Amino acid sequence: MSKPWRSYRTGAFFDELMTDRGSPRVTPRRAINFFRGLSADELQARRSAAELAIKEMGISFTVHTEQDNIDRAWPYDMIPRIISAREWATLSRGLAQRTRALNCFIDDIYNQQRILIDDIVPADIVLESDNYKSQCEGFSPRFGAWAHICGSDLVRDHRGRFFVLEDNLRVPSGVSYMLENREISKRVVPELFRNYSILPVDDYPLKLYEMLAALSPRTAKRPNIVVLTPGIYNAAYFEHAFLAQGMGAELVEGTDLTVTDDDCVYMLTVDGSVRVDVIYRRIDEDFIDPEAFRADTVLGVPGLMRAWRSGKVAIANAPGAGVADDKVIYAFVPEMIRYYLKETPLLSNVPTYLCVREQDREYVLKNISKLVIKPANESGGYGIMVGPHSSPAQHRRYARLIESDPRNYIAQPTLCLSTGPTLIENTVQPRHLDLRPFILQSKDVWVTPGGLTRVALKKGSLVVNSSQGGGSKDTWVVEGKP
């Protein structure tokens, strides 16, 4: 064993690749042996190669600071996270099941509201939420699909059990980095690909195209699909361009589109106006149409909601889908699966205390130092307080926040997130990680093999978001005997 691995200890956590006795797990054994055979210098050389590849490929994300927008190189760790295909099959079925139920829920909420009438989910929680959009009432998009692209975050606890941490149904991002991580791995550790049968991920843009094309209101052989981006200064612009290119679709901004009196959406081209069939929007719904939502938006297209409601254009994700992207609603997903699908949930939720419930709130306030407190409506890891890592003053501050606005807070036990070996300077050390697979749904449901693994680079940290110093790993779902 080379020097960089000598101090590797998994501690109290479940490690993705190593057992607690310090030997490799069965599936990743050959990969671990390969990395253990590399000296510190060889690891460094490969890391430099990876950094160069990332720079050359121009893989970046934008970080907004008070002074400036910085284009940062994508952080990639060369030691992949490896999952066996057998284990993945269960997860994949569970994710598909979840997305189906979530779409049933959204469609129900904007139409019959059966689940509210039957009192499975409290009506006030749903209808008083900012995410409930009355502009969508009485409409049902094709296939009853609202959340066409869903990014669900999975974590593993200290016993290695998978849990769903949240479902991102608005404009989930990260899929391009999943694809690019694989490209970088092929350049940096090509030897490993000889020993494994790794499920490919690079057909994602094709699957995305097929999913979007199925939504087209016209029967043309090749519908006009556009990716609607807020523009170059958006943190995920790289991904918008990447996906448009991957699908052979147009990358448009709001100013490229117009809605005319016939309620159709047109894009302005050098040959004149061309009708658009499907819009993959990467703009938050509040900004897509100044006529229907925020009037001060300059990103959107006036009349877009009108066009959508009259069935002349499909929008993915559908406006209003965010109603299910709420950490309070999340707590009810297992119930939704039983209610709509009459199935047993295949994936577990993390136990969740809803501060809006009196009994839960009392428990949360009493145990605030042990719990993770999350605002119901933030993304990107903002506004979260990890009890055991916070000061008494912070505990008191969050207790006050909860008491003043209980609907907006949930609490979960602090999970001992699983770890994976990660190259930190000259040594390999365990770092906490999560996993974001992507689920597509229109006519059918499809789940990416694997997903984007995000890793907290700071020792002991649980924050994996790239905007807050997180890194990423290539994720392998491997077939066959180890």
Partner 1 sequence: MSMLSSVAERLYWMARYLERTEDTARLIKTYNHLIMDIPKGAEPPWDIMIDILDAQSMFRARFKVGSEQNVLKFLIADDKATCGIPFAARAMRENVRTTRDVLPEEAWELVNGLHLFVENEAARSSGRRHRHHFLSEVIGRCQMINGLIGASLPRDHAYGFIKLGRLIECTDMTTRVMDVAAGDIMNRAGRFGTIEPLLWGSLLQVLSAAGAYRREVGPIVEKAATLNFVLRSTEFPRSIKYCVRETRKELMRLKNHDFAIRATERLRRRLARLDVEQVTREELHYYVDNFQQQLNRLDAAIHATWFHGESA
Residue matched to tokens 């590399």: 38
**CA distance linking residue 304 with residue 301, whole number of Å:** 6
Span from 254-262, 284-292, 427-435, 455-463 in contact with partner 1 (CB under 8 A): 254-262
Per CB under 8 A, 62 contacts partner 1: no
Span from 49-57, 278-286, 289-297, 300-308 in contact with partner 1 (CB under 8 A): 49-57
Cα separations in angstroms, 15 against 11, 93, 332, 382, 477: 9, 24, 29, 26, 16
Per CB under 8 A, 232 contacts partner 1: yes
Query: Among residues 55, 64, 396, 400, which is the contact residue for partner 1, using CB under 8 A?
Result: 55
**CA distance linking residue 285 with residue 323, whole number of Å:** 11
Closest CA to 144 of 220, 214, 72, 198: 214
Minimum CB–partner distance for residue 263 and partner 1 (Å): 17
Look up residue 350 and give its DSSP letter.
P
Helix (H) or strand (E) holding 168: strand 162-168
Tokens of 255: 């100013």
Per CB under 8 A, 57 contacts partner 1: yes
Per CB under 8 A, 70 contacts partner 1: no
Span from 34-42, 108-116, 267-275, 429-437 in contact with partner 1 (CB under 8 A): 267-275
Closest CA to 236 of 463, 63, 440, 55: 63
Per CB under 8 A, 69 contacts partner 1: no
Query: Among residues 252, 288, 305, 445, which is the contact residue for partner 1, using CB under 8 A?
Result: 252
Span from 13-21, 92-100, 248-256, 314-322 in contact with partner 1 (CB under 8 A): 248-256
Minimum CB–partner distance for residue 309 and partner 1 (Å): 23
Closest to partner 1 by CB, 40 or 241 = 241
* DSSP string for residues in 30-87: HHHHHHHTS-HHHHHHHHHHHHHHHHHHT-EEEEE-SS-EEEEEPP-EEEEEEEEHHH
Minimum CB–partner distance for residue 238 and partner 1 (Å): 9
Closest to partner 1 by CB, 268 or 295 = 268
Minimum CB–partner distance for residue 383 and partner 1 (Å): 32
Closest to partner 1 by CB, 259 or 373 = 259
Look up residue 318 and give its DSSP letter.
P
Per CB under 8 A, 256 contacts partner 1: yes
Closest CA to 152 of 472, 455, 353, 434: 434
Q: Which residues bind partner 1 (CB under 8 A)?
A: 55-58, 232, 241, 244-245, 249-253, 255-256, 258, 267-272, 274
